[in-house]
Structure 1
Amino acid sequence: MDNPVAANVLGTLGAVCWSVQLIPQIIINYRRHNTIGLQPSMMMLWAWAGVPLGVYNITKKFNVALRIQPQILTLLSLITWTQCRYYDKKWPISRCLLVVIPIALVMAGIQIGLIFALRAAHSSHLTWPDTLMAVLSAALLAAGVLRHYWDIYVHRSVRGISFIFVGIDAAGDLFSLISVFFQPRLDILGMVIYGTELALWTGVFACGGYFNLLPWIKQNLKPSSESDLSSNASEPPADSTTQPVHGISLQNMPSSTSVFRTPSSEIAVARIRAGFQDVEDERDAVS
């Protein structure tokens, strides 16, 4: 379905969503001067995902917004990754720049080289390089999201995940996916790239419904007498979202202030805060 205006508008919305989801994280990191709860591996995977995605979108002559979108993803992901090194690993600024600038230059060089290589492959009527770029893009984007699945599986909790920003990221995938649909030629691989991450984010939302919404519905549908009995019970109900993990109750954890915090990192934050509280209690006892 050839509709250049719709393709550009939707592609722009996709690029804006992918920017909006990371810019608040960068601002949060700067204001609180730490990146506790953020997974640097996720940021680096997304940074590298922008390389084959950019190659694919440019060589397939997608609309301008979809060509720029991977560059924005790589840039913002690298900035966020650098903040992780600076704030949490205590790298000096000079070391951060000495590491991240060569990485960025290597990424740019690889992308430019692959663009020329794929154009030469197109002139020779080879299709497997396009498939390779699409697979790499989808795999790297998915790898960043799969960290959430691992933590959800291990801790049986979605505590700490910011569903607002997950929704923004998923919306970026959806807009980009529809934008590809409005290209002059329907590109199945391009739809697979964005559709893969969209499907994974949808799964995270489904986990949120299972671990948060479903127990809430069951609790509110209980008869009043049953609710009174449960409230008077000596032990709390066996709910995976309220069970303590290594002495830390997930129910009492504060809401996440990170955009892409995972359950395991939420537990790490709770441990740190619990340690600070113990120190304060000891000080109060001494005084």
Structure 2
Amino acid sequence: MDGRDGSGGNRVAVNVLGTMGAVFWSIQLLPQLYINWRKKDTTGLQPSMMLLWAFAGLPLGVHNILADENVALQVQAQILTLLSLLTWSQVMFYGHKWSLSKSTIVVLLIALAFGAVEAAIVCGIKYGTKEQVPKWTLDLFASLAAAGLGMGVLRHYYDIYTHRSVRGISFFFVGLDAAGDLTSLISVGESSLPSISRP
């Protein structure tokens, strides 16, 4: 044995696919933001869904930073929160007739509060933990992020059920979300494959 193995290929594939998933998920709301702006209408787009997604970005960011994930995944969580808050502000501006100044100020205050809480949690755990971050801590924040994302999606499915139609959602947004799901699932599958040693 010369010490070389096939795990390097797996690691490259996992990193590439994981980064692709992060990119797709990072930009998935851009088509939605554009369509909302072009139509000046957000009928059917649930503000609670966007707030839940924005909230999910907070524990997701904490998890990815504490788990020392690659930079793309750490940044992706922050972009998710930012774009979700911007989309939420469009719903409040176009759908609930908030003024531009009110929408902007509220979004800025929420974003600053989320950023401060995330920074406080990360710093508190990093400096309060002498050794490696406990697995249960990472699992807790991952679960909170998944719960926020899941509840956001379920809120929109409830709207589809009650109105018997899909309202307010960009299909480009859905496509990018699906692409992020697919590449991330493949990445997880690749990471679980056993390495094959070369003689």
Tell whether the structures are fold-level matches, with TM greater than 0.5.
yes
Distance (Å, rounded) in 2 between the aligned partners of 1:165 and 1:85: 20
Are the equivalent residues in 2 in contact too, given 1:66–1:176 (CA < 8 A)?
Answer: no
Give the partner amino acid of 1:148.
H
Of 150, 155, 166, the residue aligned with 2:158 is 150
Distance (Å, rounded) in 2 between the aligned partners of 1:177 and 1:121: 31
3-state DSSP of counterpart to 1:82: helix
Instruction: Report the TM-score when normalising by structure 1.
Output: 0.57
3-state DSSP of counterpart to 1:65: helix
Are the equivalent residues in 1 in contact too, given 2:13–2:190 (CA < 8 A)?
Answer: yes
Q: CA deviation at 1:177?
A: 3.9
Residues 118-146 of structure 1: per-residue CA shift (max 9 Å, x gap): 32336276433222101101100100111
Q: What is the correspondence of 1:202-281 to structure 2 with a 5 Å cutoff? A: none
Instruction: Report the TM-score when normalising by structure 2.
Output: 0.79
User: Is 1:62 aligned to residue 74 of structure 2?
Assistant: no
Q: How many residues align?
A: 183
* Higher mean C-alpha deviation, range 112-121 or range 43-52: 112-121
1:29 matched to which residue of 2? 36
Give the partner amino acid of 2:104.
L
* Higher mean C-alpha deviation, range 1-10 or range 74-83: 1-10
Q: What is the correspondence of 1:1-287 to structure 2 with a 5 Å cutoff? A: 3-119=10-126, 120-121=128-129, 123=131, 126-154=134-162, 157-160=164-167, 165-180=173-188
Runs of 4+ in 1 over 6 A off after TM superposition: none
Q: CA deviation at 1:154?
A: 4.1
Distance (Å, rounded) in 2 between the aligned partners of 1:129 and 1:29: 38
Distance (Å, rounded) in 2 between the aligned partners of 1:15 and 1:85: 27
Give the partner amino acid of 2:158.
W
Distance (Å, rounded) in 1 between the aligned partners of 2:50 and 2:78: 14
Gaps of 5+ in 2: 1-6, 193-199
Are the equivalent residues in 1 in contact too, given 2:66–2:133 (CA < 8 A)?
Answer: no
Residues 63-120 of structure 1: per-residue CA shift (max 9 Å, x gap): 2211111111111111101111111222222211221111001111111111123323
Give the structure, 1 or 2, with the largest relative contact order (CA under 8 Å, sep 6 or more). 2
3-state DSSP of counterpart to 1:123: coil
Are the equivalent residues in 1 in contact too, given 2:25–2:176 (CA < 8 A)?
Answer: yes
Whose radius of gyration is greater, 1 or 2?
Answer: 1
Residue identity (%): 54
Give the partner amino acid of 1:12.
T
Are the equivalent residues in 1 in contact too, given 2:32–2:173 (CA < 8 A)?
Answer: no
